[in-house]
A and B are shown apart, each in its own frame.
Chain A
């Protein structure tokens, strides 16, 4: 095992020990040890012969916001798309290692990606509402999940949770394309909430939005984390520092022979630790703006 690898491992262990509840306290009050939602072990993703990420291991806790940061091309979005098996949609993608969701192997035999995605929702980089009415955008998920009858309550509840209800309640039947970018993104969040997932994955959800719309989404995340577990990919370090409880720093190592880049997890820890006292030199360089 090379040096970098062991550093990754070290980072992971530190992360594990340094849960949001500090170790000393957790020994005193063991009942507040947070539930692990995802248990990721040595995950690698390949696109054909190209290895996009290598040997990532980390645990994700319930009702927390976990941020994944790092320079572009470091595989953080690829990692995110493993959690709800969106990588299945790419023919040549292959996932190795173990991804356990409440102890169940997500890529195990008999596990259906469709069912996985119903429990693990996703919000994308670019707002992607359906070209339909606001109401139908939110109601689609529950409908395909088999909810019969009136969905008015579900739609209202989801829009309220996404802090969009007051802005759209008078025009639910109008096209979602008439909303502003920030509103569209909140609609996409409402759409994801409507199927009551346990986890919400966010792939740079604010990168296409202005600062005011971004602030609204960030407030919203802080608000809903009581009920949901959130994993967010962001290239905005301030955002990670502001909203997340845990932060995973990824970087890309250049493969000498093939001139390709493979993403690795450098360090995973409490967010304040990552930003104020990182254990790894590369993390420190990145968060202090010296690199990336």
Chain B
């Protein structure tokens, strides 16, 4: 076999082949461009959403921002404010945090740290994944039956008092529970087995291992997951609609924050947006709905953004 002699000049055949190969990259470039366009479009929606809310709501947001945020519901669009909605949403978020977080994290600890790979644990896991996919309005029906009618004696007293903040809060807690469990499980699963073995080999019990090592190591992911699910609960309206949030004008009177939780008639920011958005155009309600949407959107985007940022920053890379 002849050894090819080294040559400094370009071999025309090689050049031809390479050029031909380059032509193939035109379709590749188009393809790449299309994919990038899909990504850019997806992100543009977020921008369009924020800009649209700002434009629609500017009449309210620029002219009377403080009155809008601190004012109560009113049948006169020029005077209406969203304070009752913000307050209701905060109350609901508080109930969700108190009920769903401990329950969800505890369930995740059981499934990841205690249950092992038993048939029972597998069934519970599948059950939770399916629960996470149940539409939120169906949870509303659950809340209506269990918290309003059975536990609340259909408004005639009972544990929850019927159509109250506590009933709605418990409904939302049930709604986000599977999401809390799943995200907490993922964070727990990411903690390396070596840490558990190390603690157990020192004579620590399961509980000591979980409390001192596994939970602290999983904390950034668990916290982010819970905050994201809290934001989801805060943005929900469908279950509240069924459980009976108020969409019209109402007066809280002189009730305190905690007093109101058990005593009926409540609303939430998403409910206010829903009712305003459906009112006939041309009387100023649309602008109010836009402004309220902007407030809700910013609240949720900021909370989510901070949670995601903190997770990406502090998450342990194993």
Contacts and interface: CB of A to CB of B under 8 A. Distances in A.
Answer whether A and B touch in the complex at a CB cut-off of 8 Å. yes
- Secondary structure at the B interface, as helix, strand, loop or mixed, is helix
B198 A144 contact: no
Nearest to B212: A140
B57 to A, nearest CB: 46
B217 A118 contact: no
Interface stretch (B91-99, B142-150, B199-207): B199-207
Nearest to B204: A144
Contact of A117 (B194, B203, B216): B203
Interface string A42-71: 000000000000000000000000000000
A131 B116 contact: no
A86 B200 contact: yes
A126 B195 CA distance: 11
B197 A121 contact: no
Interface in A105-130: 114-115, 117-119, 121-122, 124, 126, 128-130
A153 interface: no
A73 B217 CA distance: 32
B118 interface: yes
A76 interface: no
B203 A195 contact: yes
Contacts of B212: 130, 140, 144
A184 B199 CA distance: 15
B117 interface: yes
Nearest to B316: A131
Contacts of B116: 91
Contacts of A191: 198, 202
Given A91-B116, A131-B217, A141 B195 contact: no
A217 interface: no
Contacts of B196: 89
A114 B195 contact: no
Given A91-B117, A131-B217, A144 B195 contact: no
Contact of B208 (A129, A131, A144): A144
Contact of B202 (A89, A126, A192): A192
Contacts of A130: 195, 198-199, 212-213
A208 B124 CA distance: 38
A130 B192 CA distance: 10
Q: Which of A84, A128, A195 has the most CB of B within 10 A?
A: A128
B27 to A, nearest CB: 47
6 contacts: A114-B203, A124-B194, A131-B195, A131-B213, A140-B204, A144-B212
Given A91-B118, A117-B201, A141-B203, 5 more contacts: A122-B197, A128-B192, A128-B195, A144-B212, A192-B202
